[in-house]
Amino acid sequence: MLELRGVSKTVDGMDHIRDVSLRLESGSLNVLLGPTLSGKTTLMRLMAGLDTPTAGQVLVNGQDMTGVSVRKRDVAMVYQQFINYPALTVYENIASPLRVAGVKGADVDKQVRKAADLMKLTPYLDRTPLNLSGGQQQRTAIARALVKGAHLVLMDEPLANLDYKLREELRDELPKIFSESGAVFVYATTEPTEALLLGGRTATLHEGRISQFGDTIDVYRNPQDIVTAQTFSDPPLNLLGLTKSGGEFRTSNGTVIPATEDEKRLPDGHYKAGFRPHHLYLQRPSEDAVCLPAVVDVSEITGSESFIHLTCLNHRWVALEHGIHNVDVDAKIDVFVDAKNFMIFDDEGRSVASLMREAA
Amino acid sequence: MEKTVNNKAWFMVLPVLLLVAFTAVIPLMTVVNYAFQDSFGNNQFFWVGIEWFQELLSSERFHDALVRNLIFSFSILAIEIPLGIGIALCMPKKGWGVPVCLVLMALPLLVPWNVVGTIWQVFGRADIGLLGYFLNSLGINYNYTQDPVAAWATVIVMDVWHWTSLVVLLCYAGLVSIPEAYYQAARIDGASRWAVFRYIQLPKMHSVLLIAVLLRFMDSFMIYTEPFVVTGGGPGNSTTFLSIDLVKMAIGQFDLGPAAAMSLVYFLIILLFSWVFYTVMNNAGTEKKHYAGEE
């Protein structure tokens, strides 16, 4: 078990990590989700003990390890770059943590071969890392982390530099392999999709702060605030400013959007509605949907899906549509939204979902 | 597709051909020409075949100079390479210290050869030189004009002073190109300082070290100016290297034939050694260790 208590890290007067508290259980898969520069790597370095926090404590199994050198901790780490000993063979690379630990004889061979087998490296044991493909190099680094049997396994965007197919393969395998070892497994990524595919638990990170920590799917469905919802949305979350009075919302151009039963319980006032790109429709999806005028900025077609970027009531939105929709730039079109898809946030960006539930 | 032939294309490569001819081929051929002939002035030449080569290869004077050259080159390599690596490892990686160190390191490289020679010639003199006076006042009998050991020490220390910087700069360039993540990974692995050097820094410096060894070997094997200025090849013949001997032969005695033969042999020796160094170091870098079968 790894616990962070009020951990902060300040470098040259800049807050890199602000007051982070987290409890990560043994045998759990934890995703750190956040955009570049949100502090994922810094947080991992603090967890590993590569850096000491400016304030707060790092506890391992209830024992205070703040300030204990990384050499005396039980940690393995895999990086975005492929880090291996360049002059050693794959075999010796995988064996290196065992050699440092003083494991002798046939034990080394057994463990190395087991890890190599899991990582599909058996045919390449005699090669040096530079004679391997990127995927194989990263597998070697992962095998090294695996063989170490560390209590804490940190992976800092390990699949970012790999091609699509290898990423899918490794993303499936990694959680299984490491959950069996009973380690605290931490995986940093910038991609919401990756977090959802990995499952487990997710902590969303924004400007050095944990905005929410919980079961991945729960964080995705019920974000506590706009920042979490935005971090956990790719393509970006669409936002719409609304004024509520009585049983309906009103947009800035006066369009009335009928509220759902839950939403009707909210006090009158200003709100922000967040909804995901696949909930912005180009065709009327249901009777309750409301039509809004929009101007197309650009449309991107990936093959099976189209992303239509548009401006509506001074908001920049993205609509995700299945199939190919080639819409002309600057075309005036009608778009549709439905209040039942809204995540409602108050003026300060906090989710009011709990407020609605309490009222019920 | 049909191949078109345009003879005018030759004009495009003509400048390069002319340049190479004037700078390399023609001088080399002149030397080859001299090496097989004897001359008695007045532009009279006589074909002597391989006589000069036979004479040279069996001459004790040549053997001695060659051995001196080898001892000198290997000595300075043995000092400059480890010292250069050591200094590069100690240099700061960031901050204001980096430009300061780099400029300090580059300074000796900016001094011309003959000036370096003159500096050390004066520096080492027992009567007015700071080093010579200091050593003698300590009771060490140091006089490079009379004592061969002192002469050798002076020439070697001078070369180390002049050229270790080059090794440092090359190694430093290799070191700073190692991503920080490697050192972090090594710390997490619990690798010792020595292991970090042996398994991360040294392999990553391998290619620059190869260049450093080659450059320092070729350059030191051709050394002329500094020992010529400091010792003039003496005392006796104790610091007469191949280049000094060659100049004595060609200009001092005007033996063009033997000197030409010696130039060719000298050239081939450097070529051979450089090739050996390159091959050995290149193989050492890509050598694959088969641990799988051990234990």
For the domain that residue A204 is a member of, what is the CATH number? 3.40.50.300
**Do A281 and A349 have their domain in common?**
yes
Is pLDDT at B294 greater than 60 in this prediction?
no
**What is the model's pLDDT at position A357?**
66
pLDDT number for residue A91? 92
Burial class (CB in 10 A: 0-12, 13-18, 19+), B127: exposed
Can you give the pLDDT at residue A313?
Answer: 86
Residue B168's pLDDT is 94
Q: Give B-chain residues touching A75 at CB under 8 angstroms.
A: 188
- At position A8, the amino acid (one-letter code) is S
Residue A51: alpha-carbon gap to chain centroid: 23
Question: Distance of alpha carbon A202 from its chain centroid, rounded?
Answer: 7
Please identify, among A178, A197, A231, the residue that sits at the C-terminal boundary of a domain. Answer: A231
Residue of B nearest to A97 (CA): B189
Do A63 and A158 sit in the same domain of this protein? yes
- Yes or no, beta carbons of B189 and A97 under 8 Å apart: yes
A135 and A245 part of one domain? no
H-helix or E-strand spanning residue A293: strand A290-301
Output DSSP code: residue A271: E
**3-class SS at A150?**
coil
Q: Which of these, A233, A230, A309, A231, lies nearest to A272 by C-alpha position?
A: A230
CB contact under 8 A, A105 and B295: yes
Considering chain B, what is the average pLDDT of its residues?
Answer: 84
**Which of A46, A85, A100 has the highest number of chain B CBs within 10 A, making it the mutation to test binding with B?**
A85
Look up residue A267 and give its two tokens. Answer: 């006090």
- Which pLDDT belongs to residue B292? 35
Residue in chain A closest to B182 (alpha carbons) equals: A83
Residues A201, A76 share a domain: yes
If one counts the domains in chain A, the total is 2
Q: Cα separation of A297 and A317, whole Å? A: 10
Cross-chain Cβ contact B184/A92 below 8 Å:
no
Nearest CA in chain B to A144: B189
Which residues in chain B are contacts of A144 at CB distance < 8 A? 189
Whether the CB of A11 is below 8 Å from some CB of chain B: the reply is: no
Nearest CB among B181, B285, B286 relative to A83 is that of: B181
Residues of B with CB under 8 A from a CB of A: 179, 181-182, 184-185, 187-191, 195, 199-200, 202-204, 206, 285-286, 288-292, 295
> Is the pLDDT score of B287 beyond 70?
no
Q: Which ipTM did the prediction report?
A: 0.71
The predicted-structure confidence for B138-175, as pLDDT tens digits, reads as follows 877 777 778 888 888 888 988 999 999 999 999 999 99
Q: Are residues A32 and A171 in the same domain?
A: yes
Structure-token pair, residue B285: 């870098």
Residue A347: give its domain's CATH number.
2.40.50.140
Angle at A149 between CA A33 and CA A43, to 5 degrees: 30
Write the residue in B191, B285, B292 that is nearest to A126 by C-beta: B292
Residue B85, pLDDT above cutoff 90: yes
Tell me: pLDDT of B295 over 50: no
Is A109 part of the contact surface with chain B (CB cutoff 8 Å)?
Answer: yes
On whether both A285 and A259 belong to a single domain, the answer is yes
Are A336 and A289 within 8 A, CB to CB?
yes
pLDDT band at B288 (very low <50, low <70, confident <90, very high): very low
CB B170 within 8 A of CB B212: yes
Nearest CA in chain A to B284: A87
* Residue B193 Cα, gap to closest chain A Cα (Å): 12
Predicted pLDDT of residue B77: 93
Tell me the angle at which helices B202-221 and B60-90 cross, rounded to the nearest 10 degrees: 150
Looking at the fold, whether A153 and A86 belong to one and the same domain comes out as: yes
Q: Indicate if A101 and A28 belong to the same structural domain.
A: yes
| pLDDT computed for residue B290 by the predictor | 39
Indicate the DSSP class of residue B6: -
B199:A128 CB<8 A: no
Query: pTM to 2 decimals?
Result: 0.74
Q: Which residues of A touch B295 (CB under 8 A)?
A: 105-106, 108-109
pLDDT, average across residues B66-72: 90
pLDDT of residue A358: 64
A91 contacts in chain B (CB < 8 Å)? 291-292
Q: How many CB pairs under 8 A join A and B?
A: 70
Q: Work out whether strand A269-275 and strand A305-312 pair parallel, antiparallel, or are unpaired.
A: unpaired
What is the model's pLDDT at position B293?
A: 34
Q: Are residues A162 and A214 in the same domain?
A: yes
Q: State whether A79 and B290 contact (CB < 8 Å).
A: no
Task: Indicate if A71 and A144 belong to the same structural domain.
Answer: yes
Burial class of residue A310 in the structure, from the number of CB atoms within 10 Å of its CB (0-12 exposed, 13-18 middle, 19+ buried):
buried
Q: Tell me the mean pLDDT in the region B244-266.
A: 83
**Domains defined for chain B, CATH in brackets:** 60-285 (1.10.3720.10)
User: Cα–Cα distance between A40 and A29 in angstroms, integer?
Assistant: 15
Tell me what pLDDT residue A160 has. Answer: 83
Clarify whether residues A200 and A249 are in a common domain. Answer: no
Please identify, among A231, A265, A291, the residue that sits at the C-terminal boundary of a domain.
Answer: A231
Query: Cβ contacts (< 8 Å) between A45 and chain B: which residues?
Result: 184
* Domain end residue (candidates: A203, A231, A259): A231
- Residues A173 and A253 placed together within one structural domain of the fold: no
Domain limits for position A35: 2-231
Cβ neighbours for A305, distance < 8 A, ≥ 6 positions apart: A320, A321, A322, A323
Nearest to B291 among A45, A75, A89 (CB): A89
Per DSSP, the residues of B144-197 read TTT-HHHHHHHHHHHHHHHHHHHHHHHHHHHHHTS-HHHHHHHHHHT--HHHHI
Can you tell me the distance from the alpha carbon of A197 to that of A45, in angstroms, rounded to the nearest whole number? Answer: 25
* pLDDT score of B289: 41
Cross-strand partners of A213: A203
Distance from CA of A25 to the nearest CA of B (A): 21
Segments of chain A scoring below 50 in pLDDT: none
Chain B within 8 Å of A115 (Cβ-Cβ)? no
